[in-house]
Structure 1
Amino acid sequence: MVCLRRPLRVASITMASLRTWRRLLPALFVAAVLTGCNDANTEKAPVATENAKATAAVPIGSGFDFYVLSLSWSPTWCGDNDPDGKSSQCEIGGNRGLIVHGLWPQNEKGYPDFCPTRQSDRVPSSLGRQYLDLIPSMGLIGHQWRKHGTCSGLSQEDYFAVTRAAWNRLRLPAELSPSRQQTDLAVAGIEDAFTVKNPGMTKESVAVTCEGNRLEEIRICFDKSLNFRSCPAVDRQSCRKHSVSLPPAP
């Protein structure tokens, strides 16, 4: 319906103007339907959700089903491999807790590794050093690319960019902050803490692994767009102990 601001003056309508109005009425009707009679009828574009913002413009990999972001409890690794703190990862006062072990392309059954690629096996220092805050060793960065990144269908730049995006997608529970004292946590409690902190994550999306009685890794499953997803095969690898110890940070 055409919205008129004021009534027509009938006395002023001539036969010529009437014919003109008859020609204009269909166009005016279409315009009124498309635009509405006032601004209040205009629909607003939907606001992007937090999840959509977090996963916007992520390069999409190929040749696998989903990702596993593996987070290592650094003090456990350091206690076994570098108790004197000679490496940058384990240096005294480094206060590292969870670090990125790697982003692993995964299939519903099994996973690919060391895939043939035209990309270089070597990760340039100029690229790798951008990610030392996540993966605190150029040696580990190179190994993750050769074993897992080559199976992502992505370039080196995109693979590590997706690794950072997956890390940024997570919110770490306070219970998993590095501490100067050893703490003990229930395995189920760790999973619950992650699901509470990360909307959309379920207990089937996260697996806690252990080295003896100590926390080893936390593995989070994402689809290729970095939405949380369930991963039964990964979840079955969870630690069977009731609780695990978190060694203190060096």
Structure 2
Amino acid sequence: MLKQVQHDELGVGCALIALILLLFPVAAQAQSYQCRIDGALPTSPRISRPADQPVRVRPIDGFVLALSWSPEYCKGREDDSRAATQCGALDNRDREHRRIGDFGFVLHGLWPETRGSDYPQWCAPVRPLAPAIVRRNLCMMPSARLINRQWAKHGRCLTDNPGTYFRISRVLFDAVRFPDMDRLSRERDLTIGAFRKAFAAANDGLNADMIRLSVNSRGWLREVRLCLARNYRPRACPAHLQRNKDSRRLNIWRGY
């Protein structure tokens, strides 16, 4: 039974309020993007555990909040029907293959961590999520498949209530403030170290050593990953989370 980090509503609320107060700067600037959901939603798929990914039930020591840079993800996926709600054409008359908004950072997931690299995953079978849960979170995670997969692979290791998992994820995501990505994308000789410092500077209580980046082989930003303690407060990233060299050049795709 998965009860090691079961959260009641009061406990979750207190922890999240503390995190917001910690991360919310006086002159905060939230991410600016537009998202509108109209018409029928994509059907929630049934997510099956891949054969090469074992069930791992582990004590939870902390979390990673993974923030995907949508312009980079969508590069080359404009005609991929599986990514239509995030990457498709805004003016597509086919609602099932139309993008629902303009996105900067979106939430990839909230990932429970353990001490070491053997993180918990696929802790118990789940059913496809109710349409109301998908609709509530689709502007934060613009893919019904992604929402269902994150619940199946990661969320079920935290709680048996998907509403609780996505509520925690949404408040954490909303608490983060982002640097001026357009300005940073135009900087010549931008480095990973400079980006991490800029991201930390936008969030009171966040230091560069609490941030990890995922970049592709050509040095383009894919994700920002924030390391959180078990109480959801930012913490220094554990040693097993690989860190790119601060001196490495970083490129940011703007989407045009």
TMscore range, shorter length: 0.5 to 0.7
Q: Which moved more, 1:137-146 or 1:197-206?
A: 197-206
Aligned to 2:196, the other structure's residue is in SS state helix
Contact 1:55–1:225 under 8 Å retained in 2:
no
Partner of 2:107: 100
Contact 2:193–2:247 under 8 Å retained in 1:
no
Contact 1:108–1:233 under 8 Å retained in 2:
no
Aligned to 2:87, the other structure's residue is in SS state coil
Higher RCO, 1 or 2 (CA under 8 Å, sep at least 6)? 2
Determine the C-alpha separation between the residues in 1 that align with 2:159 and 2:228: 16
Say if 1:91 and 1:241 are closer, same or farther in 2 by CA, change over 3 A.
farther
Q: How does 1:127-138 map to 2 (within 5 A)?
A: 127-138=133-144
- AA in 2 matched with 1:243: R
1:115 corresponds to 2:81: no
Aligned to 2:63, the other structure's residue is in SS state strand
Q: Which moved more, 1:218-227 or 1:132-141?
A: 218-227
Partner of 2:211: 206
- Shift in Å at residue 107 of structure 1? 1.2
| Larger Rg over CA atoms | 1
Aligned to 1:88, the other structure's residue is in SS state helix
1:91 corresponds to 2:88: yes
1:143-199 deviation digits (Å, cap 9, x = unpaired): 0001111111351000000001111221111136898x8987321111101211112
Partner of 2:20: 54
Partner of 1:19: none
1:161 corresponds to 2:127: no
Q: 1 or 2, which has the higher helix percentage?
A: 1
Contact 1:95–1:249 under 8 Å retained in 2:
no
- AA in 1 matched with 2:226: I
Aligned to 2:142, the other structure's residue is in SS state coil
Partner of 2:179: 173
Contact 2:220–2:250 under 8 Å retained in 1:
yes
Give the TM-score of the pair, scaled to structure 1.
0.67
Give the TM-score of the pair, scaled to structure 2.
0.66
- Identify unmatched segments of 5+ residues in structure 1: 1-47, 57-61
Say if 1:183 and 1:153 are closer, same or farther in 2 by CA, change over 3 A.
farther
Say if 1:177 and 1:171 are closer, same or farther in 2 by CA, change over 3 A.
farther
Say if 1:142 and 1:55 are closer, same or farther in 2 by CA, change over 3 A.
farther
The percent identity for this pair of structures is 28
1:79-116 deviation digits (Å, cap 9, x = unpaired): 14x13375120134643221111010011202111002
Say if 1:126 and 1:239 are closer, same or farther in 2 by CA, change over 3 A.
farther
Aligned to 1:185, the other structure's residue is in SS state coil
- AA in 1 matched with 2:120: P
Q: How does 1:220-239 map to 2 (within 5 A)?
A: 220-233=226-239, 235-238=241-244
- Identify unmatched segments of 5+ residues in structure 2: 1-13, 23-57, 91-100
1:73 corresponds to 2:73: no
Aligned pair count reads: 193
Say if 1:216 and 1:239 are closer, same or farther in 2 by CA, change over 3 A.
farther
